[in-house]
Structure 1
Amino acid sequence: MADKTVLITGVSEGGIGSALSVAFHEAGLKVIATARNINKMANLADFGIETMALDADASKIKKLDILVNNAGAGYSHTAKELFDLNFWSAVRMIQVFLPLLMKSENSPTIINQTTVLSVIAIPWQSTYNSSKAALASITSSRRYELAPFNIKVIELKTALVASKFLDKPGVSESIVPENSIYAPAKSVVGNVLKKNPPNVIWRGETMLPERFVKDAINKVSHLNEIEKLIKE
């Protein structure tokens, strides 16, 4: 795997991008971990992982086999800001690095990180959910469009994992298993590096179908209280 290069966006200490960087590195790949703030990736220096501020250094990348579009946000932003980060940034990354992926003879792959909330309705998160649903949809289309060029397109659909993602302002707290982030990351890498990887990789604490959690969702989101006030 030493001749395979993977670029991961949205990497910061304690996040899924950081865990994936370590997992790919331990699998023997050359990892390029990227973020807008390079200081957020200082922990990766101990692993010997290359880091860069992607906005400034993208032109320096001359070889690429795997692109992981991990950057995203789930906290309170305007609809445009969330779509710019969760959807349009991934579209732009594919446009920029597609020429390098087309040159790869080493199982070129694109991985787009979405969420189970792209298929499960949760109140107060409609903009976030829809931005990820849009990414899930374009991932499926890109899979067909790039198949003739031997480029695999995988959707990484995650539920709750132990990361700092929920530390962002405006994101509700959830109870997740301690130190669970690296085991899922290693299993994701294992699936990605298979000869015939799955089109969609599901990881994280799975959620029950909506019909089983509707009452719980209404209670947690206080929608039941709002409904009572409206009817009074």
Structure 2
Amino acid sequence: MSKRTVLITGCSEGGIGAALAVAFHNAGLKVIATARNINKMTNLAALGIETMVLDVLSEESIQDAASKIKKLDILVNNAGAGYNQTTSDLDIAKAKELYDLNVWSAVRMIQVFLPLLLMSESSPTIVNQTSVLSVVGVPWQTAYGSSKAALASITSGLRYELAPFNINVIELKTALIASKFLEKPGVSESILPEKSIYAPAKSVLNPTLHYADLSSKGADPAQYAKEVVGDVLKKNPPKVIWRGEGATQLWLSTMLPERFINGAISKISHLNEVEKLIKQ
């Protein structure tokens, strides 16, 4: 039998996608790793992993990639970005761009690659990368969290829609990973506008917007990816996979009243410090 083939988006070096590509490769699958810039995947190519240019925001790029692929068993929609800002100060244009990337690009990938998945005779599967923030609202991350909540809802509905075709649809709820995600512009360059109602707390809020204190934390990407791939390749894979630092605690919190996680949310967002400065 030919190897199962998996296509993964967002595989630039140092990110979750690259770690997943290596883990699927180590599990014996044929991996097609994609990113906008092929030069950011040289580490994967050196391992014998096929790399391909694919910009998920470009219809032409998606169609071009699809024309080059003859067989597909697993589609992993991993490409995405963050955008941290107070809701009252959100740049709506930027928020719409975030939704285009985190939500609609995944939908378009599914639409274009669905014919190949329908031809698969080896447990065809779609994996959508969402986030633990799709179920827990966190201050300053409402644009990002809501975009992941939208994809989570689409994933849930899609699971029912594709059940008659025996296609598995898996949601990957990822928590904190020690990757380059926090280095992306939407997070690393976040800054409070001068006229914000939160201006009195900018000394605390500006570093918090790009979560500088989390830059050295998170689960090991390689271990995370190995566990995720193990879950996806099970005979009966889970519908929702919770992985990453803090994922188990957040999963448990979904079964408890909100007050049980208020303290943790306030701590990670420095909300109490912000409130004190505003009320001075």
Shared topology, TM-score over 0.5?
Answer: yes
Q: 1:23 to 1:138 in 2, by over 3 A?
A: same
- State which of 71, 74, 77 in structure 1 corresponds to 2:79: 71
Quote the residue 1:133 is aligned against.
149
Please list every run of 5 or more consecutive structure 2 residues that lacks an aligned counterpart in the other structure.
55-60, 85-90, 191-209
Distance 1:231 1:191 in 2: 48
Q: Aligned residue for 1:83? A: 99
TM-score normalised by L of structure 2? 0.77
Residue by residue, what CA displacement relative to the aligned partner does 1:25-57 show, whole Å, maximum 9, x if unpaired?
011110000011111111112210010112243
Which entry has the higher C-alpha Rg, 1 or 2?
A: 2
CA distance in structure 1 between the aligned counterparts of 2:218 and 2:270, rounded to whole angstroms: 25
The answer on 1:214 being equivalent to 2:214 is no
What does residue 35 of structure 2 align with? Answer: 35
In the alignment, what sits opposite 1:198? 238
Computed over aligned residues only, the root mean square deviation of the Cα atoms, in angstroms, reads: 2.0
Query: CA–CA distance in 2 between the matches of 1:220 and 1:181?
Result: 21
Find out whether 1:159 has 2:175 as its counterpart: yes
SS in 2 for 1:162: coil
User: Are the aligned partners of 1:5 and 1:65 in contact in 2 as well (CA < 8 Å)?
Assistant: yes
2:224 to 173, 184, 200: 184
Matched to 1:89, the amino acid is S
User: Aligned to 2:33, what secondary structure does the other structure show?
Assistant: strand
Aligned 1:8-157 pairs, distance under 5 A:
8-54=8-54, 55=61, 56-76=64-84, 78-157=94-173
* 1:91-113 CA distance string (max 9 Å, x none): 00000000000010110000000
The unaligned stretches of length 5 or more in structure 1 are: none
Distance in 2 separating the partners of 1:220 and 1:18: 27
Instruction: State the alpha-carbon separation in 2 of the partners of residues 86 and 139 from structure 1.
Output: 12
After TM superposition, which residue ranges in structure 1, 4 or more long, deviate above 3 angstroms? Answer: 207-210, 215-232
- Per the normalisation by structure 1, the TM-score is 0.92
Distance 1:139 1:220, change over 3 A: closer
> How many residues matched?
231
Contact 1:11 1:17 in 2 (8 A): yes
**Which residue identity lines up with residue 66 of structure 2 in the other structure?**
A
Give the CA deviation at 1:227: 4.3
Displacement of 1:212: 3.8
Counterparts of 1:141 and 1:52, CA distance in 2: 30
Task: Give 3-state SS (helix, strand or coil) of 1:124's partner.
Answer: coil
The amino acid that maps onto 1:211 is R
2:211 maps to 172
In structure 2, the residue corresponding to 1:176 is in which secondary structure?
Answer: coil
